[in-house]
Structure 1
C-alpha cells in the first residue's frame, strides 16, 4: 500500500471513530447548517424561522460566507444536500443542478429577481460576487407556485447585503487560493443613521490555471470584478423605500481534458442591474405587508469557441455576442384573515429581450488522397432578436388547524408570449481542390442560410401546491407536501437552429411547457444540541424537451416534447453538539433517476447515487477577545455513469465517473475587542485525489487557501 493510501485510511478511520462518539446523532453539514430555530428565511416570500417553512430549504448563512475562502458562489453551494455543481469545463463558470434535474431547470434569483439566459444549453450561471451576499437560500423541489417557470428542480435565491446598524461601518477581506495561485480582495462601507441605510462595495479576483493532480489544466483561468450600491430610507415605522445597483464582470476560459485542442473564451460575461422597492408594513390589522419591486437588468456574453480536428486540418471558430435585457416588476400583498389564516397574493411581469449575433469561421486544409489536397475557408453569420413577456398571478394561503397542524396551499397562473422577430443568416465559403499542387478550380458559395425561425407563441398553465405541517412537539416539525413545477421553452429551443458535433438541431415553435409533480415527507428538529433536517422525495417530470432524429442520414434532429424522468431519493443533515465545543456532523444525498428519452430509457443519468460530507467541527472561546474554530472533514461521491443512445446505430454510449473521497481540514481564528478580525486557513484534497464532478476537467489537487477579514 502506498504511503498516501495509508494516511488516507488513518484519516478516514479517525473520522469514523469521532462520528462514533455520537451514534444517535449522524450530523449536519456546516455550510448549510440547521443550527437552530432562529435561522430566518424568505423562501415562502415571507420571513419565517426555518422550522416553520413547509418545504425543503437549505441556507448558507452570512457567517459561513464571510469565513469561506470560496472563489465563486458555486463553491459556497457545493455541500448543500441535493445540490450538484456544474462548471462546464471552467473554474469560473458555475451552474447548479438540484435533485438531478438539468441546470436549465434551476431558477436563479438575486433578491427574488430572475437572472435570464435565453440562448444557452447549459442553464443560468451564478453571475454575482460572493462578498456582497447576505445569505443563500436553496429551495429543493418544484417551487413554481411562488417563483414561476424554471423552478422545476428548485430555486437558488441569493440575498444581498444591505445597510448596517451604526453610522459608519466597514468590512475588508483578502484571500489566496492555492488551487489557482490567485488572490481576491473586497471592501464594503455601510451604515445606518436617521432612517437612512446604505452600502457600497467592490471586489476583484484573478485566478490562474487550476492545479490538478495531472498538472495545470489548460484553459482554466478566470478574472472577476464586482461592485454594488444600496440606499434606503424609513419614512416611518410603516413605510420604507430603497434602490440598489450591482454589476459583475468576468473573463473566463474553459476547456476539456479529452480535447486539449478545444477551448471556450468568454470575454466578457457581465451583468448589471438597477432596482427600486417600496414596502409598507402593518398598514392595518388585516394588511400586514404591501411591497412593490421593479428592476432593470442586462447580461452580455461575448463567447469564442475554438475547435481543431484531424490534427489541425479542420479548424472551426464560432463566435457569439449575446445580449439579454430584462424589465421586471412585482406587487405582493399579504393578508391576515382572522386569527388563523395568512394569505400571500401577487402579480409579476417580466419582459425578457434577446439580441444575438454570431459568426463561425472555418478553415480546412487536408489531404484527401496522396495527390489531392482540399482547401476551404468559410464564414457563416446569424442574427436573432426575440422577446419573451410573462404575466403571472399567484396566491398561497397558510391556515392554522387544530391539534398543531398547519395547512399551506397555493396556485399560480402564468401567461407567456415567446416571439422571435428576426432570425436570419448568411453563408459564404471558398473551396479549392488541388491536384499535385495545382488548383482545379474554385467553388464559391454566397447565399442566405437557414438559421432558425420567426414567429410568436402563447403558453398558459396553472400550477398548484399543498403541504401539511405538524408542530405538536417543541422544536420539531413534521411535514408532507406536494408541488407542481413547470418550465416554458426558451427562445433558443423554439426558434434557433444549433449545430453540435457536426449535427444539426432544429427548433420547434410548437413546444409545450415541461411540467412535474413532486411529493415529499420531511422532519426538522433543533434542540438539546441535536440539529436534524431529513426529507424523502419522489418526483415525476413529463414533456421534457428532447431532440429526436427527423433525418438520420444527414444527422438532423428536432426539439420535441417526449422526455420523462422519475426521481426518488433522500436528503439529510444531522449534527450533535458534544462537550468542549466539538460537533460531529454528516450530510448526504441519495438519488436515483430514471430518464426516458422517448426512444431510450436509462437509470444512468450521470448523477452519483450518493454524495455528501462528514466531519468534526470544534469551537473554543479562550476569552471575549479570542476564539478558535476547526473543521476536519471528508467530501465524497459514489461512482456514476451517463448513457445515451446513438439513434442512427441504436448503440448505447456510456461515460463513467469513478467514486471519490477527499480529505480536508480548516482552522479559523477570530480575535480583537469585538472579534472583528478573522483568519481562516484550509488544506483541501489532502491526499491529492484525482477526480471529476462534471466530466470536463479534473478538480484541484492538494492545495491550501487563506483568507483574512476585518470589520470596522
Structure 2
C-alpha cells in the first residue's frame, strides 16, 4: 500500500512539507524525515493566553518553565536540559546571550510571532553547534495573502485597578515577486497583582507586588523576494527594548530581599536568509546575521537602598555575528544528502561603573556538519547526522580593582557529534521513531572566566580550559491518530550527561567550575490534541522527568519538578464563540541545590472567551489564575494572583 509522507506530524500541530518554507521551521535546515519537532501555532498561543515565549513553551510536553527568582528571569528546561544546553533561534538565527548562554524568555512577546518549534529528540546538526539537549526556534510572521492587517489591544485589571496593557499591529503584503511584513508590539506592566492572602511589607501591600513593573517593546521588519518557485531571499530586522524590576524574596528562609532593576534589556538583530535552486537536484541555503544585546542592572540590596537610589551598577554590551551555508542534494528517490558549515563570533563586554573601561572576551566557533536521509520503500526511513565543532578563545581581558589589566591565554576545544534516527510508518498517520545521539555543548564565557559568585558570597577562580559537556541519549517516540484531526504523541527517553560543569569548592570561599559531574535523565512525554466531538477540542501535555546525580554533584538539580502537565478544553457552541479553560499543574521542585528550599506543587486554572463579531473584528476576555491560587516556581517568589483582561482584535 502506498501512502504520503509529505506531512510532518506532532502532538500539538500539523505542518505539511509543502508549507515548510512558508512556516520557516528548523526543518528548512534538515531533511524531512528528521522533522520530529513539536510546533506551537498561532491559534494555540492565543487560545491559551500565552503572552511570552516562556509561558508558551511550558505547553510543550517535556518542557518545564523555570524561574530565576533573584533575577526575575523566565527560562525553560527541555527534558532536564537548561537554556545553555538547548540553544534558542529566531528564524534559525541564534539569539542566546554570548556571556552565559541564557536569555530571559519572559521578555519575548508572542503577539507578533507565527509559531514556536521545539526539537527534543533528534535535532538536526545542520542547524549549528551546541544542541546537546535539542533546540528551540521562534518564527516570525510572513504574509501569504496579497494584503494582511492585524491589530489588537488588551487591558488588564487587578482588584479593579489598571495593572497593564498590551497592543500590537502588523501589515503584510505578498506578491508573486516577493513579500513585505511590518509588525510591532508592546506590553506595559504597571505592577503584578498579589493573591488576596498575601499582604506584607516585603512582598507588597494592597494587592500590588513590590518592585514588579516591566515594559517590553518589539518591532519586526521583513522584506523578501521570490524570483523563482524554489528561490527565496529575505532580510529581517528585529528591535526589542525592555525594562524590568525584580520583586524581592518574601519566603520563610533567611535570605536577603533585593530590589534589583533593569532599566535596559535590549536586543537588536538583523539577518539575511536565502534559498537558491541550483538545477533540479541541488539547493543552496545561506544566512548572514548580527545580533546585539545591551543590559544595564542597578543592584539595590534593600528597600532603603532603592528609595535612596544607592546601589551597584553593571552593564553588558554584547554582540554576535555569523554565517551559515548548506548544500543539499536529492541523490536518489527519497534520499537526501546535505552538508553545512556554520561560523559565529561572540563578543562580551562588561563594566561595573558607568565611566569604567570594558572587560572584553571573544570566542569564535565553527561547525561542519552532514546529514543523510535514506528511504527503504514506503515505510522505513533512516536519517543520520554528524558534525565536528571547534571553538577558539580569541580574547580575554579584565580590568582589576587595583588598576592592572589581566590578559587570559587563548584556548581551543573541539567536539565530534553524531546521531541516527530510524522511522517506521505504520500507515499515513501512525509512525514509530527510534533515535540515538551523542552531542556536546561548549562551556560559556561565564563558566570559564567568572571571578565571583555574589549570590553565594564566593570568589571564583577562572578555568579557561573547561571541556565540553557531553550527552548520550536514546529516544523512542510513537505518533498516532485517534480521529480525522486528533493526534497523539508518546515518547520515552534516557539521556546521560558526562563531564557536567559544576562549581567545586577549593578552600574557604574560593570555588572553580570543573568538569566533575554526571547526571542521568530518564522520562516520558505525552501530548494529545484533537476534537472529541465537533464543538469540543481537547489538548493535553504531560511530562515526567527523573534526574539522578551519579558523580560529584554539589547538590540537587534545581527547578526540575518530576511531573508537569497542562490540559485544556475549547468549547465552540457557536461558530463565532469559543470558550477555553486550561489547567497548569506541577509537582514540587528544589529551589536551591541543598534541597533546603522547595517550591511546592500547585495547580492553576485559566479561562478565556473569544467572540467573532464579523468583518474581521473579534472580542476577547480572560481570567488568569481564576481561583487566585498562591503558588511559586521558585520558593519565596510568589506568582501573580487573579487578573482580568479584555481586548479587541481586527484581522483583514
Which bin holds the TM-score, normalised by the shorter protein? 0.7 to 0.9
Query: How far, CA to CA, are the matches of 2:533 and 2:350 in structure 1?
Result: 60
Q: 2:566 maps to what in 1? A: 613
Match of 1:108 in 2: 88
The correspondence for 1:190, drawn from 172, 181, 192, is: 172
Output aligned runs, 1:577-588, within 5 Å. Answer: 577-588=531-542
2 CA distance for matches of 1:36 and 1:170? 23
Query: Which range moved further: 150-159 or 267-276?
Result: 150-159
Residue of structure 1 in register with 2:359 after alignment:
384
Q: Unaligned regions of 5+ residues in structure 1, if any?
A: 1-30, 361-379, 427-446, 646-652
Among candidates 631, 639, 648, match of residue 588 of structure 2:
639
Matched, 1:685 2:641: no
CA distance in 2, matches of 1:448, 1:262: 29
Task: State the secondary structure of the residue aligned to 1:75.
Answer: helix
1:707 to 637, 641, 647: 647
Q: What's the counterpart of residue 364 of structure 1?
A: none
> Which of 460, 463, 484 in structure 2 is aligned with 1:528?
484
- Is the CA contact 2:411–2:464 (under 8 Å) kept in the aligned structure 1? yes
Query: What's the C-alpha RMSD, in Å, of the aligned pairs?
Result: 2.9
SS at match of 2:446: helix
1:551 and 2:507 equivalent? Answer: yes
Offset at residue 35 of structure 1 (A): 5.5
Counterpart-to-counterpart distance in 2, 1:88 and 1:540: 25
Q: Which of 245, 261, 264 is the equivalent residue of 1:253?
A: 245
1:284 aligns with 2:240: no
Which of these residues, 122, 125, 150, is aligned with residue 130 of structure 2? 150
**Residue 411 in 1 paired to residue 381 in 2?**
no
Deviation at 1:279, TM superposition (A): 1.6
1:640–1:658 Cα contact (<8 Å) kept = yes
CA distance in 2, matches of 1:631, 1:351: 45
Does the aligned pair in 2 maintain the 1:116–1:324 contact within 8 Å?
A: no
User: TM (normalized to structure 2)?
Assistant: 0.88
Which secondary structure does the structure 2 equivalent of 1:76 belong to? helix
Q: For the structure 1 residues 69 and 77, does the alpha-carbon distance in structure 2 shift closer, same or farther, using more than 3 Å as the test? A: same
> Shift of the alpha carbon at 1:481?
0.5
Tell me the residue number matched to 2:294. 300
Q: 1:707 to 1:235 in 2, by over 3 A?
A: same
Q: Deviations over 1:221-268 (max 9, x none)?
A: 100111121111222334332212110000011132245740221121
Segment drifting more, 586-595 vs 171-180: 171-180
Q: Is the 8 A contact 2:48 2:608 kept in 1?
A: no
Residue in 1 aligned with 2:152? 173
The question of 1:509 aligning with 2:464 is answered yes
* TM-score when normalising by structure 1: 0.81
Deviation string, structure 1 residues 19-70 (Cα, Å, up to 9, x no partner): xxxxxxxxxxxx9723687885733335887xx5453x22110233355543
The answer on whether the counterparts of 1:594 and 1:605 sit within 8 Å (CA) in structure 2 is no
Distance 1:569 1:705 in 2: 36
Distance change in 2, residues 1:599/1:694 (3 Å): closer
Question: Aligned partners of 1:546, 1:688: CA distance in 2, in Å?
Answer: 38
CA displacement at 1:95 relative to structure 2 = 1.8
Q: What is the DSSP-based 3-state SS (H/G/I as helix, E as strand, rest coil) of the residue aligned with 2:125?
A: helix
Alignment deviations for residues 435-478 of structure 1 (CA, whole Å, 9 cap, x no partner): xxxxxxxxxxxx3479x751211111110000100003221011
Q: Please say which of residues 198-207 and 245-254 is displaced more in the overlay.
A: 198-207
Q: Secondary structure at the match of 2:359?
A: strand
In 1, Cα distance between equivalents of 2:573 and 2:183? 32
For residue 409 of structure 2, the aligned residue among 455, 463, 473 is 455
Residue equivalent to 1:348: 342
Which residue of 175, 191, 196 corresponds with 1:209?
A: 191
| Alpha carbons of structure 1 residues 708 and 301: separation in structure 2 relative to 1, 3 Å | same
Given the alignment of the two structures, is residue 139 of structure 1 paired with residue 119 of structure 2, yes or no? Answer: yes
Given that 1:127 and 1:271 are in contact with CA atoms closer than 8 Å, whether structure 2 keeps it comes out as no
Residues 480 and 47 (structure 1 numbering): CA distance in 2 closer, same or farther, change over 3 Å? closer
Deviation per CA, 1:257-292, whole angstroms, max 9, x where unpaired?
Answer: 2457402211211011111223213x32321x2111
1:45 matched to 2:20? The reply is: no
Note closer, same or farther for the CA distance 1:339–1:567 as it changes in structure 2 (3 Å cut). same
Show structure 2 runs of 5+ residues with no match.
Answer: 1-9, 199-206
CA contact (8 A) 2:126 2:340 kept: no
Post-superposition shift, 1:203?
1.9
Q: How far has the Cα of 1:341 moved from its partner?
A: 1.1
Counterparts of 2:152 and 2:309, CA distance in 1: 44
- Asked whether the equivalents of residues 96 and 102 of structure 2 are also in contact (C-alpha less than 8 Å), the reply is no
- Number of corresponding residues: 619
Matched residue SS, 1:485: strand
Deviation for aligned residue 1:131 = 2.7
| Contact 2:34-2:383 within 8 A present in 1 as well | no
Displacement of 1:339 in angstroms is 1.0
Distance 2:262 2:312 in 1: 12
Deviations 1:407-443 (A, max 9, x none): 01010111111233411222xxxxxxxxxxxxxxxxx
Shift of 1:144: 6.8
